[in-house]
Structures are given as C-alpha cells and as structure tokens.
Amino acid sequence: MIVGLDMGGTNIDAIVLDQGQIIKTVKKPTDRENLFQSIWAVLEELLVGIDKRKISRINLSTTVSTNAIVEKKADPVGMIVQRGPGLPYEFQSCTGEKVFISGYIDHRGQVVKDLDLREIKKAKDLFKEKHIKACAVVTKFSARNPSHEQRIKKLLDKEFPLTTMGHTLSGKLNFPRRVYTAYLNAAVSNTFQNFAGSLKKSLARAGIQAPVYILKADGGTMNLATAHEKPVETILSGPAASLLGLIGMCPTEQDALLLDIGGTTTDIFFLADGVPVFEPLGIEISGYKTLVRAIYSVSIGLGGDSRIRVDNGTIQIGPQREGPPYAFGGPTPTPTDGLIVSGLMKANGETLAKARQGMEVLGRQLGLSPEGMADKVLNAMGDMLKNKVESLLQELNEKPVYTIEELLYGKRIRPQVIHVIGGPAKAVAPLLSRKFNLPCHCPANYQVANAIGAALARITTEITLLADTARGFLSVPELGIYEKIGRSFTLEQAREKALK
C-alpha cells in the first residue's frame, strides 16, 4: 500500500492506494499557522483501520518550504560569494549578510586566482557577530570545479554546519540562479528540519515504519535524508502532484495539453510524446529565479468561480474570484453559472433559477437572453484558454537551439489530445474539444488527482556530466564526482557512466 498526501494552500488531500486501487481518501483544510499539525491530523484520520505494516511508502507534498519563502519567514543567511569577472551582481534580495570574496575559477574549471583565506575568516567573524545560523557559499563556475566552495565550507563547518554549497544543487551554468538557489536552500533549512523532525517523531510514536519521501517540483521524490540537505527542492511541488495524477489516470504517448481547472485558476501543462515538459532552467518563486528543476506549469486567473464583468460591450472573465458562483449565493456571475444555464452542469430548479438570473443581469447589457449570454461566456472562456495555450506553445517551440539539426528538424510540441481535471472539467470538456478541435478526456476520480499523483511519484535525481577530454577531466557536480579520464573518452562511455 502506498500513502499519497498533497498539501495545497487551501486543502490537504490524502489517499491510500493498493495495487492501483483507491482504498481510502481524506480531505481537510490546511491550517497555515500549523502546517505540521495539519498534515498529521490528515494522516491520523487516513490511517484509521489501515494495517500500518502493509504501508510500503508514504509520499508527501508539502508547502512548508514554499510558505517560509512566500511569507518571508525564512532565516537570514550568511552568504559568501565569489563573482569573478562579469556583471557586478549585488544579490540584494538575499536577506542576511553577504560577503564578496576575491579569487576566480574559469569556464574550463581552472583556478585562475586562489582564495584569500583572510577574507573567509573575516566573513566567519561577521556571521558570528550577527548571529547567523545558516550559510551558503557560491563561486562562479563551481559546477566545473567546486574546490573553492568545498574549502570554504570546511572552514565554516564547525560553527555553521548548515552550509549550502552551490554546486550540490545543480550542475547547470547560471551563476545568479545558483546563488539564489543556494540562498533559499540555506534560508529554509531550519524550518524544514523542524518539520521533518516532528514528522519522524510522530510517525515513530504511531508505530509507522514505512519510509517517507518528499515530493519535488519535478514530479519526483527524495528520501528524508536528501530532503534535509536540499529542502529547496520541496518548493512548489503541488502542480507536479496534479500533473502526475493526470498522467497516472490517463497515460498517453502523444503530445498532450493537460489542464487543471480550479475555482480561481487554471493550471496548464504539456506532455511531449507523453513525457512532461520541464522548465528549461528552474522554477521561479517570489521573484527568485532558481535552478530547482520543475515541471513546466503556467497558472492563469481563469476558473469556474472567476468574476465576469461586461466592459464597454466586451466580456471580462477573471482574473479575480470574488466568491462562489452566483447560483450558490456568490456576489457576481461566473463561468459556472454559464455552465448551469447552458445545461452542461446539472443543477436543481432553485440553483438554475439563480444562475439564469446572473446571466440575465449580464445579458441585459449586451441585449442577450440568459441562454445567449451563457453561450457567449463559455465561448469567451474557451477563446481565452485557446489563446493562452497557443502563445505558450509558440514560446516553447521557439526556445533557443544550438545546432543546425535541431533548428531544422527539432521537436515541436503539437498537442493531439486534451486531458482536463478540476471542478468544472466534465462540463467544459465538450467546449474545449470544439475550440481546440482535439479529443478531450476527463478522468474519473479527478477530485483526488493530486493525491494520486503524490502516491505514484518515484525517486528522481538530476545529474550533469561534463567530460572535458582536452583537460582529461570528468565532473558530475551534483554527486561530487570529479575524476580523470583519457583523451579517447566517448559520448557512449559518458552515457554508461551517467546511468550508473
């Protein structure tokens, strides 16, 4: 049996799966003031009557780190940064203490200028004086040669055991993003460790011995020990859970458009030959651009409960939500009211009358009957989605390429099918099918897609292998591998080595 739990901003969804069958589900609101208690309450309820020894793993998607960053409750960080030649980045949005040091490692990973140890000592004294707890050290091109980061960490270790090194988080080249990623990792590490500590204790007390995995934004999981070192990877894993659920419920090997239509927003995802499309570099959170690998997802302010207004003869849907749909006592007409009036969503007589009333108010401004207005609203909603999806696809398909082969024959994403989940999913499926001129499927059990996604997630890891045969050197920064190779090292050998 697998336990999957997805903690969102509003609700926590949890599920027990056995051989692909849903055994039990629980849904509870999230208490933002006590995230751990929220999760624990759901788990306790979920596991009543379940044989705990049969649980093979527990997968959690948690907003603990995300919240600390978004609500600016993260810890101040002592940063040591080696910028080298280039832009004089100040990294002002990293709160805490920043020390810029001399020395430089170039693009081939060669040390051009060594560290000045006096500068490190000074930084350490400053951090102690300012009562800094977590530190991060990032040097330019550390993915190519981490020796400066490693030496500095050693010098800090005794006083600052929670020191993040930039190269351990990603092997991609992007110095500012590496700095922000390392900063965020250090800034949430205390918060995450507290959470993980409470979780372990509670699980032990409840006699649950199953291993716990934490969901990442790339749709994979990591064990608690890895999460301890890389808590930043737990941010924004919610959309990944929904996407995984969708893939689990309707697998495909085609290019596909995946939509999760909620009350306030719609999340848009794409599959290329059945595989999720990823962010090219990493996810952005609260304005910090990071190297945290993530599934590509775009959220737009258009959902079943979005406010509808008529402005100078044109319909505006969203981006705000002002309450439930008019039919259910909300303040403004919404797309859900349109779906009810057009008969796409079933409702009792009283609700239908309210929905009609909402459409009538809007329709009066355009000289339309309630039914005519409902049609117009749904059309507008379909057009908005279609336009957004098309512009995203154009952007994705125009992403820079660097070889003639890719330029002429490279993969372009062209969805052949739509999969949609969310409250209004079933009702809007025919509309989407018509607008996009594609088959549109809406899986059963879509209400718990996110929890199913969390349950189905598997361990993933990303590595970057660079073989420089001229220098006779191979590196995998994420695993701390830096070793000698011969001049005849081939791409085939590199592949084999990477898969090991």
Partner 1 sequence: MRTIKAKNKLGLVFFPAFDWAIHPTHSEREERLLYTQDQVFEEGIEDIAGIRFYNPVMATEKDVSRVHFCVPDVPSRLTQSHLVAAGGAIVALQKVMEKEVDKAFALVRPPGHHAQRIVHGSRGFCTINTEAIMLEKIRQMYGPLRVAIVDTDCHHGDGTQDIYWNDPDTLFISIHQDGRTLYPGSGFVEEFGGPGAYGYNINIPLPPETGDEGYLYVIDNLVLPILAEYKPDLIINSAGQDNHYSDPLTRMNFTAQGYAKLNDKLNPHVAVLEGGYSIEGGLPYVNVGIILALAGLDYSHVVEPDYREERFRQPKEITEYIARLCEVIYTYWKERDRLKEEHYKGLDHFERTRRVYYDTDGILENQAERFKICPHCSGVNTIDSRSDQGAQILAVIIPRDACPDCVDEGYKVYREATSRYSKIYLQDRVNDCFLAK
Least Cβ distance, residue 494 to partner 1 (angstroms): 16
Q: Is residue 491 involved in binding partner 1 (CB under 8 A)?
A: no
- Ramachandran quadrant class, 262 (left: phi over 0; alpha: psi -120 to 50; beta: rest): beta
- How far is the CA of 122 from the CAs of 101, 117, 134, 153, in angstroms? 10, 9, 16, 14
404 binds partner 1 (CB under 8 A): yes
Query: Helix (H, G, I), strand (E, B), or coil: what is residue 298?
Result: strand
Distances (CA, A) of 79 to 101, 160, 180, 197, 458: 10, 12, 10, 26, 33
Token pair for 270: 């794409």
Asked if 407 interacts with partner 1 (CB under 8 A), we say yes
Nearest alpha-carbon partner for 179 in 302, 311, 80, 312: 80
Q: Site map for partner 1, 40-59, x if CB under 8 A?
A: --------------------
Q: Given strand 77-82, what is the order of strands in its sheet?
A: 96-101, 77-82, 134-139, 163-165
Using CB under 8 A as the binding rule, whether residue 408 contacts partner 1 is answered as: yes
Given a contact cutoff of 8 angstroms between Cβ atoms, the answer to whether 295 and 278 are in contact is: yes
Instruction: Please count the residues of this chain forming the interface with partner 1, following the rule CB under 8 A.
Output: 37
Cα atoms in the Cβ-side hemisphere of radius 13 Å centred on 391: 7
Residues numbered 62 to 121 that lie near partner 1 (CB under 8 A) are 83-89, 92-93, 104, 106-108, 112-113
Among residues 353, 401, 479, 498, which is the contact residue for partner 1, using CB under 8 A?
401
Which of residues 213 and 288 has its CB atom nearest to partner 1 in the complex?
Answer: 288
Interface pick for partner 1 out of 398, 409, 486, 499 (rule CB under 8 A): 398
Please report how close the Cβ of residue 131 comes to partner 1 at its closest, in angstroms: 25
Question: Which string of x and - marks every residue 171-190 that binds partner 1 (by CB under 8 A)?
Answer: -xxxxxx--x----------
- Mapping DSSP onto H, E and C, the string for 146-181 reads CHHHHHHHHHHHCCCCCEEEHHHCCCCCCHHHHHHH
Q: Which residue type, as a one-letter code, is found at position 70? A: V
Q: Give strand pairing partners of 196.
A: none
Q: Which is nearer to partner 1, 187 or 199 (CB)?
A: 187
Closest to partner 1 by CB, 93 or 461? 93
Contact between 473 and partner 1 by CB under 8 A: the answer reads no
Q: Which residues ranging from 257 to 316 are in contact with partner 1 (CB under 8 A)?
A: 281, 287-289
Q: For residues 38 and 66, which CB has a smaller minimum distance to partner 1 in the complex?
A: 66
Contacting residues toward partner 1, per CB under 8 A: 83-89, 92-93, 104, 106-108, 112-113, 140-141, 172-177, 180, 281, 287-289, 398, 400-405, 407-408
